[in-house]
Amino acid sequence: MTGTAPARAGRAVRVVRAFLLAAGLAVTGYGVYGLLGDPYITDPLDVLTWAVGGLVIHDGLWVPLVCLLGVLLVRRAGAGAESGGPGPGGPVLRGWLVVAVAVTAVGLPAVLRAGDDHGNPSVLPLPYLRNWLLTLAATAGVALLIALVGRWRRRDRAVGPRDRAVRRPAPREDRS
Amino acid sequence: METEPADSGTPATRRRYDPPLPAPPAFLRRGPFREDAFTSPPREPRTVVVVGRWLGAALLVCFLTGLTSHLLQDPPGWLAPHLPARPVNGYRVTQGLHVISGLAAIPLVGVKLWAVYPRLFEWPPARSVLHALERLGIAVLVAAVLLELFTGLLNTLQWYPWPFPFRQTHFWLGWLATGGLLVHLAVKAPLIASVWWRRAAPALAQRRAFLTATTAAVGAVTLVTAGQTVPWLRALDLLAPRRPDLGPQGLPVNRTAAQAGTVTVPADWRLRVDGPRPYRLTLAELGELPQYSAELPIACVEGWSASARWTGVRISDLVRRAGAPPGSAVRVTSLEAEGPYRVMEMPAPYVDDPLSLLALRVDGEVLAADHGFPARVITPNRPGVLQTKWVARIEVIV
């Protein structure tokens, strides 16, 4: 072994990167080869169309929509705050929005497809619209609780010193 | 995000291998391309790397469990004789994990892409040839991952709005997504390493709140869907496409008898067993052979699983009776007229396993038509589509 410790570390990083790059290109190549050669995939252009379409819809429509929703709701929630910025409930509301969007992304296909089981009642057997709304309501309830606890703790801290002075037991030496 | 450490090599050599591209005129830099277009604090490297680690782990689990499922369903000839029939719940766990981690990846990929969204509008769009190639690679990665998660999610609902076959496309896209991920890791390695540890990045209250929200989102999605395979989460199964206790005889069905055209079984049905000493048995004769019971799961490729107590004849007994030695594989044919799983091959380890049954009853009742009346295969550690229903024929093939 020659070279200083940083030089050796630099070499190790380069080896790892080269290995990752080579492996990644090989795996990608195998995927392309398989996709183009699979006897069941008669038209790989269909796959390309759907892949590009997904990219365009996600980046061009879905993300801007989510951002817009977030800005509108969080700004409205913060409108009452004296600071002018997002109100004290802002981070919690934003957090709940992340949860709500995630639950919707995963549950929406079932909501849209509920009842369409091709004669197999054990597929999609649940009331998905109700369950989706229930999930949103339950997570909103938890978020509200967190926001209320946060506000209560902040208020307690703000008015705390005076209040606590009254409530705190008297110093030992004063007790006779 | 502009703090990428410089690569090794002198500027001259870099230029030779990575010719710079001209920047577009500045007046085109409008809308989201403006420098101050995005202001959210959590859109910074440490947050992206933390979410990326979770997403990378989820995708890796998806890829490995998916590969496992593929090999169990469609093993190459050299592997088939070595597939293990144990652990009994092996496939239930790997395929359950496949769908759980895939569903968890949906909020993770959403959050990850939201956090790096400003990079889509970086200026100039391509600094050099390598930079352009890297961005093309990211497009391949993101497109493959999005389509992979989308097709996987809809497949669990048996919803196929696209013109290509699901299974093959999902399989090959998995390789594309994994390859793209490895290339992405290679390119971003210095940036990832620079903020890998918590102490390497300044503390940020918004980051903490954002990561907590991401964890909550993954948790919520998992809690309301994982009950389709995890027994103690069944009460919370609100949005999964299946509930393990809903279906005929308290079990879900992948393909009904009506869909397979096997609602009525021919009156002269006999189980035909072909081997060195072929024979046929009526349902009554099958019922007179030694009966065994086993608690075995049906574990579907779509991610749900349900256990039941199956009773019937050991497949190894049927095969021995036909004069075939231990270590024989069999081919099982269903009564259904067509379907991709009408004919199934069962490697020797499953045939010889004492838990592998030709089941006549489930939970004490005669099989319902939807569960494969008059007889169905049930084996440990195998995908549900290979637990052939409405069995007509078993032939020894090795």
Whole-angstrom distance, CA of residue B378 vs CA of residue B296: 8
Which pLDDT belongs to residue A88?
56
Lowest mean pLDDT among B10-24, B39-53, B217-231: B10-24
Provide Rg for chain B, Cα atoms.
27
Q: Are A54 and B212 a contacting pair at CB < 8 A? A: no
Q: Are B239 and A124 a contacting pair at CB < 8 A? A: no
Residue B280 — pLDDT band, cuts 50, 70, 90? very high
Beta bridge partners of B346: B330
Residue A120 — pLDDT band, cuts 50, 70, 90? very high
Determine contact: A52 vs chain B, CB below 8 A. Answer: yes
pLDDT (tens digit per residue) in B374-383 = 999 999 999 9
Residue A3 — pLDDT band, cuts 50, 70, 90? low
Which pLDDT belongs to residue B244?
96
Q: What is the mean pLDDT of residues B13-28?
A: 84
Determine contact: A8 vs chain B, CB below 8 A. Answer: no
Q: What is the mean pLDDT of residues A72-84?
A: 61
Q: What is the pTM of this model?
A: 0.91
Q: Which chain A residues are Cβ-neighbours of B237 within 8 angstroms?
A: 126
Which pLDDT belongs to residue A80?
47
Determine contact: B13 vs chain A, CB below 8 A. Answer: no
B216-275 residues touching A, CB cutoff 8 A: 216-218, 220-221, 224-225, 237-243, 246-248, 251-256, 258-259
Map tokens 């705050």 to a residue. A81
Q: What is the mean pLDDT of residues B113-136?
A: 94
* Closest C-alpha among B67, B183, B49, B65 to residue B108: B49
Half-sphere exposure (CA, 13 Å, Cβ side) for B172? 22
Determine contact: A123 vs chain B, CB below 8 A. Answer: yes
Which pLDDT belongs to residue B379?
98
Determine contact: A136 vs chain B, CB below 8 A. Answer: no
- Which of A99, A106, A121 has the CB atom closest to B225's CB atom? A106
Whether the per-residue pLDDT at B108 is higher than 80: the answer is yes
B91-110 residues touching A, CB cutoff 8 A: 103, 106-107, 110
Q: Are B158 and A109 a contacting pair at CB < 8 A? A: no
**ipTM of predicted complex:** 0.92
pLDDT (tens digit per residue) in B174-203 = 999 999 999 999 999 999 999 999 888 888
Q: What is the mean pLDDT of residues B110-120?
A: 95
Which pLDDT belongs to residue B6?
44
CA distances to A60, B217, B256, B382 from B296, rounded to whole Å, are 47, 33, 20, 10
Q: What is the mean pLDDT of residues B287-298?
A: 97
CA distances to A106, A128, B344 from B304, rounded to whole Å, are 16, 17, 21
Q: How far is A171 from chain B (nearest CA, A)?
A: 37
Lowest mean pLDDT among A54-63, A152-161, B205-214, B247-256: A152-161
Which pLDDT belongs to residue A171?
52
pLDDT (tens digit per residue) in B152-172 = 999 999 999 999 999 999 999
A-chain residue closest to B63, CA distance: A27
* Closest C-alpha among B346, B340, B338, B339 to residue B378: B346
Kindly report the average pLDDT of chain B as a whole number.
94
Residue B13 — pLDDT band, cuts 50, 70, 90? low
B324-353 residues touching A, CB cutoff 8 A: none
Map tokens 């395979």 to a residue. B229
Using alpha carbons only, what angle is made at residue B137 by residues B136 and B138, rounded to the nearest 5 degrees?
90
- Comparing B2 with A64, the larger pLDDT belongs to A64
- Which of B214, B217, B241 has the CB atom closest to A124's CB atom? B241
Q: Are B169 and A47 a contacting pair at CB < 8 A? A: yes
pLDDT (tens digit per residue) in B29-71 = 988 999 888 888 788 999 999 999 999 999 999 999 999 999 9
Whole-angstrom distance, CA of residue B159 vs CA of residue B167: 13
Q: What is the mean pLDDT of residues A63-85?
A: 71
CB neighbour list of residue B328: distance below 8 Å, 6 or more residues apart: B275, B319, B348, B351, B396, B397, B398
- Which of B103, B147, B237 has the CB atom closest to A51's CB atom? B147
Please state the φ and ψ torsions of residue B159, each to the nearest 5 degrees: -115, 120
Which pLDDT belongs to residue A87?
55
Whole-angstrom distance, CA of residue B367 vs CA of residue B373: 5
In the structure encoding, which two tokens stand for residue A113, read together? 């497809």
Residue B8 — pLDDT band, cuts 50, 70, 90? very low
Residue B7 — pLDDT band, cuts 50, 70, 90? very low
- Which of B164, B182, B248 has the CB atom closest to A41's CB atom? B164
Whole-angstrom distance, CA of residue A134 vs CA of residue A98: 16
pLDDT (tens digit per residue) in B308-327 = 999 999 999 999 999 999 99
Query: Which amino acid is present at B43?
Result: R
Whole-angstrom distance, CA of residue B347 vs CA of residue B350: 6
Q: What is the mean pLDDT of residues A45-68?
A: 96
Tell me the DSSP string of chain A: --S-HHHHHHHHHHHHHHHHHHHHHHHHHHHHHHHHH-SS---HHHHHHHHHHHHHHIIIIIHHHHHHHHHHHHHHHHTT-TTSSS-TTHHHHHHHHHHHHHHHHHHHHHHHHTT--TT-TTSS-S-HHHHHHHHHHHHHHHHHHHHHHHHHHHHHHHSHHHHHHHHSPPPGGG--
Please check whether residue B163 is in contact with residue A43, taking contact to mean a CB–CB distance below 8 angstroms: yes
In the structure encoding, which two tokens stand for residue B225, read together? 């869907």
A155-174 residues touching B, CB cutoff 8 A: none
Residue B87, preceding peptide bond in cis (omega within 30° of 0): yes
Whole-angstrom distance, CA of residue B19 vs CA of residue B13: 10
- Which of A20, A35, A106 has the CB atom closest to B182's CB atom? A20
Whole-angstrom distance, CA of residue B67 vs CA of residue B61: 10
* Closest C-alpha among A130, A103, A124 to residue B241: A124
Which pLDDT belongs to residue A57?
97
Instruction: State the DSSP code for B228.
Output: G
Which pLDDT belongs to residue A173?
52
Determine contact: A66 vs chain B, CB below 8 A. Answer: yes
Share of chain B above pLDDT 90, in %: 87
Map tokens 């998660």 to a residue. B149
Q: Are B164 and A46 a contacting pair at CB < 8 A? A: yes
Q: Report helix, strand or coil for B33.
A: helix
Which pLDDT belongs to residue A176?
41
Q: What is the mean pLDDT of residues B258-277?
A: 95
A46 burial via Cβ count (<10 Å: 0-12, 13-18, 19+): middle
- Which of B169, B180, B189 has the CB atom closest to A16's CB atom? B189
Please state the φ and ψ torsions of residue B156, each to the nearest 5 degrees: -65, -20
